[in-house]
Structure 1
């Protein structure tokens, strides 16, 4: 762990702060306590730990084996005889002749905003009052209480009395220094590659990931990077409920104007652009009906820019309730630390459907971060209903670019079909084509008002029906697989079995398209392909 956190804590103690809140993740707890006890020993200061779990006071010290805890009998005798309040430790620390640092672990739940539960409220108010009295009573004593927890949120009434320090995710230099100790045989370039794969994790997580990767056998540095990256993806899913994807190789059909914009953004990431004070847009908003390729565009931007992609379902934050702001704060800190990354806010509008205080507070946090951040993060958000978004989110300077992602035109549907057909039918790979121009015109006419997701489903259904026609139920493994050639009739049959959303919900989709057209720039140029509407006989 960096000494920066310890320096911050003792810096506040020197300024005579008697109450300090420290937010540190659980996995870093032992390391933090060890470093605190070690610094106290160096300065000849006593260091004590009280935990909510066992209501015991322990004196901390360090030795060659690490952290050592010794029970303080003086507190145990008083706590045993006075059981009327579980937080007797606060009375004890106020009056005891012991001095130094007292670490209180597990007290933060009672320090948050007020609750409707009367018993909890009374306990909470008592604890807040006891902490303030402790600060006043010990203003001239060599005593400091450190409130320690994973979420150091305190209510507005006592926040001015309790300065808060947050343990930040380690920077790449700190990770490299740590890796040099745990992987002494690695070269500088191997350490750098491993550190890059570890960015966004705490040192304790990195250590665990390394131990897990090399548990039973020796592995190469490249294999360790691969295993650490996989561990990080799984960890991010559990902690932040996000998908973290390395740049995919995603072909995209149509949306040329969006793709041109992505090429511009790539140039804005260069050091030359920085020299001219040019920057990425604050945010990009993609609006339009469901299934038109908004999520696909975000993946394509990741491929185009060569940046990892974080996919977050914005509406999911509402399910966290009182923890929503804490979760968002941690996520934005992660994004800042990773730095060069795309943050994709999927279904952004759904997070504001309730129009309640929580969604407004979350929007405020996001806006403040978007306005003040210095990291090179490209923010892309998608919305079906832009009218659900607060007006302050869509004004210039917030989401600088707004694109309307519409139903694909004839030329775009042709490109989308070829991308998906190439997954199954070799005739469509490497620029090949399996249909005549007339067959294409017939297919594109039949799939008018189908979106990209529906075209994918049509191709997949046609591939399944073709496979079932080619092979029976009991198929022995073949030495050489025959080609899966998907016919036009198979695609047309698959189309007949589907009712596209833009036809099924025509009024709603047209409303979305019209509103999107008012707010957004077109994402595609006018169709100039040979299959454009002007070149297709729509009457067959």
Structure 2
């Protein structure tokens, strides 16, 4: 609630200081109008009480004291403001249509008239202010020095919680909706609604209540569904709606423990410990070993919306539009915070930072992203994945950008057992299909031994191709089907041995191993490859969480 008070006081001070023009860019007209009316009638805040007169293109001025003059014309409306003889605040809604932009030419007569009355508003015997209220910010160059932009942020946690509490109280009295929320769950539901307007949040809560006649922690998904609409409209970010969870990720227990310890760190309860929200992690390693998979699973573990940023969509042919696209992407991620921002294969997006072939566009976008990573205050957790991390600029890797850099290596014997278990249990559900085949420790141990040096994606293909063998012959799957496929696949650790060794050499002193020490210490098997380092060296610093 403190932020709301600060916002009210700031606007009141601007009115008192005779700022002639304020520009508020927001979709929430009702909230802004309510704030202005509250300030205009509060003598303690504004000293001189003022009338609030609103103007629309369809109706002209409305309110006491506007007379019968037709003020639908912008010029007529400005003339009325100029000649008005009482203290007042004039709210001009959707006046941006006269400022140009979006393919329109600016109305130079209207702009000139605004410049003419600017000085008169400052020195008027009766205090008068003009507020432009529009959903978009379009500011003509001629008025840049006269107009003050007033940031009107989306509803705070307390404002949304107030709406939710009111709705719960009303429905408890009626007895039609079952409320099943403790204080922590209510906090999660409110956090899920951050980034929505008050109207959108109220609609989301109402929808959650009527769908099954209940309001519970499960309705977080309903609220996140409303957020998905915001993401779709940006065309830069992609809302990832997946059903993956940490049970679908075999191994990587060190990374999982690190993530579990930071769950709920954006809640108010974490602030009692003086804890900041985590910044993010950079996950590098061998291709196909689960970097993207675990990135998606974090969303389910933390119950936060997952947004994928495609760096390729940021760049545009129009000068300056790429930088604007990056700003919009960051603003959207912050608007729906707490959230997770996932950048897959980040090295490909920023591989032209040190070149001048694009006029420095990549460097400027990269610089803006770095500054935001370092200074961001909103709880946006950034997950970046990279296969070839050595090509990333060193500025991205220093402390303060990411909380930790994790290295995902070829899966150990124990991890391969878990990966086989995940894929087999996911697919073998019909007794007619698995027949006599059992997902037991002996079979899993045998398959893990046959797939030394395989990445997780290759193990998945062993399961899929083995099932294809049985499907083709219209019979139940057998252990022999999987063993046959294991011997046919040439793993990445053989075909790209040199590249994997290079990745490991880099990670050995610069990153933390995603696999815990107890799993890596058992890695004593050997792989018959030309480079023995691939089978015996385990990259990544030994730090267990």
**Aligned CA distance change for structure 1 residues 60 and 312 (closer, same or farther; 3 Å):** farther
* 1:16-95 equivalences in 2 (<5 Å): 16-25=18-27, 28-33=28-33, 36=36, 43-51=49-57, 58-61=60-63, 73-76=69-72, 79=73, 88=75, 92=79, 95=82
1:97-123 deviation line (CA, Å, top 9, x unaligned) = 4764142525289588xx9x9x95xx4
Match of 1:67 in 2: none
**Aligned CA distance change for structure 1 residues 10 and 515 (closer, same or farther; 3 Å):** same
Q: Does 1:228 align with 2:228?
A: no
Q: Is the 8 A contact 1:268 1:278 kept in 2?
A: yes
Which residue among 489, 495, 500 is the counterpart of 2:481? 489
Which residue among 115, 134, 144 is the counterpart of 1:149? 134
Match of 1:12 in 2: 14
**Aligned CA distance change for structure 1 residues 88 and 271 (closer, same or farther; 3 Å):** closer
Q: Is the 8 A contact 2:196 2:227 kept in 1?
A: no
SS in structure 2 at match of 1:206: helix
Aligned equivalents of 1:160, 1:256: Cα separation in 2:
57
Deviation at 1:322, TM superposition (A): 5.9
Q: Is the 8 A contact 1:90 1:130 kept in 2?
A: no
Q: Is the 8 A contact 1:58 1:71 kept in 2?
A: no
**Aligned CA distance change for structure 1 residues 211 and 505 (closer, same or farther; 3 Å):** same
Which residue among 422, 425, 442 is the counterpart of 1:422? 425
**Aligned CA distance change for structure 1 residues 93 and 444 (closer, same or farther; 3 Å):** farther
Q: Does 1:452 align with 2:456?
A: yes
Deviation at 1:196, TM superposition (A): 4.9
Deviation at 1:140, TM superposition (A): 1.4
Deviation at 1:61, TM superposition (A): 4.3
Aligned equivalents of 2:31, 2:414: Cα separation in 1:
59
Q: What TM-score, normalized by structure 2, do the two folds share? A: 0.70
Deviation at 1:230, TM superposition (A): 5.3
Q: Does 1:186 align with 2:190?
A: no
Aligned equivalents of 1:18, 1:105: Cα separation in 2:
18
Q: Does 1:173 align with 2:174?
A: no
**Aligned CA distance change for structure 1 residues 129 and 526 (closer, same or farther; 3 Å):** farther
Deviation at 1:233, TM superposition (A): 4.9
1:162-202 deviation line (CA, Å, top 9, x unaligned) = 33222323233212322344451238865963545533322
Which residue among 134, 140, 149 is the counterpart of 1:164? 149
Q: Is the 8 A contact 2:181 2:215 kept in 1?
A: yes
SS in structure 1 at match of 2:426: coil
- The count of corresponding residues between Structure 1 and Structure 2 is 489
**Aligned CA distance change for structure 1 residues 267 and 222 (closer, same or farther; 3 Å):** closer
Match of 1:397 in 2: 400
1:232-260 deviation line (CA, Å, top 9, x unaligned) = 35334424533367993434323344234
Match of 2:123 in 1: 140
Aligned equivalents of 2:83, 2:486: Cα separation in 1:
80
Q: Is the 8 A contact 1:411 1:530 kept in 2?
A: no
Match of 1:346 in 2: 344
Match of 1:219 in 2: 213
Match of 1:82 in 2: none
Match of 1:201 in 2: 196
Deviation at 1:59, TM superposition (A): 1.8
Aligned equivalents of 2:371, 2:229: Cα separation in 1:
27
Match of 1:534 in 2: 525
Aligned equivalents of 1:429, 1:278: Cα separation in 2:
50
Deviation at 1:413, TM superposition (A): 3.0
Aligned equivalents of 1:237, 1:165: Cα separation in 2:
24
Aligned equivalents of 2:349, 2:76: Cα separation in 1:
42
SS in structure 1 at match of 2:195: coil
**Aligned CA distance change for structure 1 residues 308 and 179 (closer, same or farther; 3 Å):** closer
Aligned equivalents of 2:97, 2:497: Cα separation in 1:
52
1:195-228 deviation line (CA, Å, top 9, x unaligned) = 455333221112333455567x872223983673
CA RMSD of aligned residues (A): 4.8
Q: Does 1:313 align with 2:309?
A: yes
Aligned equivalents of 1:128, 1:343: Cα separation in 2:
41
Deviation at 1:88, TM superposition (A): 4.7
Q: Is the 8 A contact 1:37 1:47 kept in 2?
A: no
Q: Does 1:522 align with 2:513?
A: yes
Structure 1 gaps, min length 5? 63-69, 80-86, 472-483
Match of 1:327 in 2: 328
